[in-house]
Structure 1
Amino acid sequence: MVVSMKPIAFLIVACSASVTIPAYAGASCEANSGVATAALVELYTSEGCSSCPPADKQLSQLKQQVGAAAVIVPLALHVSYWDAIGWKDPFAQKAFDQRQSQLLANRKNRIVYTPQFFVNGNELRAWRTDLPRTIKDINAKAAPLGISLKTMSTDANQFVITADVKPYAKSVSGALYVALSESALVSHVLRGENSGVTLQHDDTVRAWFGPIPLRQGGAHLQQRITIPAEWKRQHLQAVAFVQDDANGNVLQAVSTAQCNQTRG
């Protein structure tokens, strides 16, 4: 259950590399996962898909639907396989096509489609009705590990992101992933199934780091990132999660979205 994006580099040791990609911006932030398991909700979507806007809206409204106490880490991953049907999704990446397929590699159902929801690595077809209950069930379980996710501004155009994984009790196997996403995006679609529609997107993945294999249950990533001027810094966030290699289940997740004071 692994996918990596090139040429993005990642480091397992305590050092850093510099890359120029869109980034979580703004002030310094430290987010720590709790003892409860967070629900990582992945939506595979496309601006070329007429049935996707309701799913995009569902993802954006999860907090309101489930309640403020719920621990939710949402990600919208735009796939590229709709691009040839009249409208090229500006947020689509082929790496997300690959991850969507790999999430289904060891499952009975191996059909990829949009909109398609996964919660902690498992497909949820009845997302219109079952997302709140599924999230609450996941939150009721104790997590086997903790994740610390930090961002620190170094100057007006750069920041450093650091993620650390520590097991709570016994060592666990899996891999660490880090994503950077942006909310409050607006697109005016000119062609394809959504021609003439203005779409709004939240938690849209812009960049992806990983997998970084756990070693004795732990992992470390530190990355220096240059921030392009055109990005709306106040709407960007970083996400870290750990996924079990054996069964594809997500063991824990955390987001820096809680540090954004001007989101919306």
Structure 2
Amino acid sequence: MKKTWQLLPAALLLASAVAQGSAQTFTSAEQPTNVLELYTSQGCSSCPPAEKWLSSLTQSPDLWKQVIPLAFHVDYWDYLGWKDPFANKSYSLRQRDYARSGGTSSVYTPGFVVAGHEWRGWFQNQPLRLPDKQQTVGKLQLTLNGRELNAAFAPEQTPPQGLTLYVARLGFGIDTKIAKGENAGKTIKHDFVVLSLQQVAGDGNHWQSRLPDDARGTRQAVVAWLGVPGQPAPYQAVGGWIKP
């Protein structure tokens, strides 16, 4: 028998937000929100054009509703003479997990993954095409009150076992002047930079955590997605701008 799950009514959520002052609530649709992942590095000479293209999505009407972009800076090019300040070993491992699971053909930069699958259309100047007619999975709701996080998932079908919540803080409008390596002398503008990534264990379909403090960037956003054990592709995702 199918279980019925309900999110809080909109009026109640609004009242809660007013009562808590700075609280923000983000809610996904019932179909999976497409996550666009860019694997990049300040030490890669081919990456600045890809980052510039990703930055254009800040003006997209589909942002946060149909597509959630993430820029993961990998660390495996740091040996070329420039250490990327946004690089994290765990982001490199995430990209390798895609290659091991068959989601991508290999590990390289710039590398794009759309809804868990390798996308090479950018290299042919093709427009981004998002998957349609996806299976309904349920709504993911994220509430941010200051730095306190609460997430709840209302599945439309029996969800996979062991769902884990991932929470990323993103930075925008970050300019970095590169002094060494393949991009020496360039100033690169970054948007959608993953500044931090948390893996949060839940209690049923509920999760609680605290967003790390990171003031880098002229604007910030928060993104959360559910992950299935052994699969890097997001199951459901939600995100939005953080109020100043």
* Aligned ranges 1:44-123 → 2 under 5 Å: 44-62=39-57, 64=59, 71-107=66-102, 110-123=105-118
CA–CA distance in structure 2, aligned partners of residues 165 and 95 of structure 1:
25
Which amino acid counterpart does residue 58 of structure 1 have in structure 2? W
Note the residue ranges of structure 2 that are not aligned, 5 or more in a row: 1-20
Is the partner of 1:97 in helix, strand or coil?
A: helix
CA distance in 2, matches of 1:69, 1:90: 26
Q: Structure 1: 5+ residue runs without aligned partners?
A: 1-25, 154-158
DSSP-derived class of the 2:100 partner: coil
Is residue 63–residue 72 contact of structure 1 (8 Å, CA) maintained in 2? no
Q: Determine which of 38, 41, 46 is the counterpart of 1:43.
A: 38
Q: CA deviation at 1:170?
A: 2.7
Match of 2:128 in 1: 132
Cα 1:209–1:219 shift into 2, 3 Å: farther
Which string of whole-angstrom CA distances, capped at 9 and with x for unpartnered residues, describes residues 126-180 of structure 1? 23444522x2x24x42431211111102xxxxx2112222211333344321111
TM-score by length of 1: 0.74
Corresponding pairs, count: 222
Q: Deviations over 1:221-244 (max 9, x none)?
A: 21234635xx15761211111234
**Does the 8 Å CA contact 1:149/1:256 hold for their aligned counterparts?**
no
Q: Give the match's secondary structure for 2:185.
A: coil
Q: State the alpha-carbon separation in 2 of the partners of residues 39 and 124 from structure 1.
A: 13
Post-superposition shift, 1:74? 0.8
Instruction: Give secondary structure in 1 for the equivalent of 2:48.
Output: helix
Match of 2:236 in 1: 252
For the 8 Å contact 2:167–2:197, the answer to whether it is kept is: yes
Letter of the structure 1 residue corresponding to residue 157 of structure 2: A
After superposing the two structures, state which structure 1 stretch, 108-117 or 118-127, moved more: 108-117
Tell me which amino acid in the other structure corresponds to 1:164.
A
1:3 aligns with none
Distance 2:94 2:74 in 1: 10
Query: CA separation in 1, counterparts of 2:167 and 2:64?
Result: 23
Where relative contact order (Cα < 8 A, 6+ residues apart) is larger, the structure is 1
Closer/same/farther in 2, CA of residues 69 and 108 from structure 1, 3 Å limit: closer
The Cα shift of 1:253 comes to: 1.0
Amino acid at match of 1:151: L
AA partner of residue 171 (structure 2): E
What are the Cα deviations for residues 173-221 of structure 1, in whole angstroms up to 9, with x where unaligned?
44321111111111011111111111000110111112647x7xx5322
Q: CA RMSD in A?
A: 2.7
3-state SS of the aligned residue for 1:117? strand
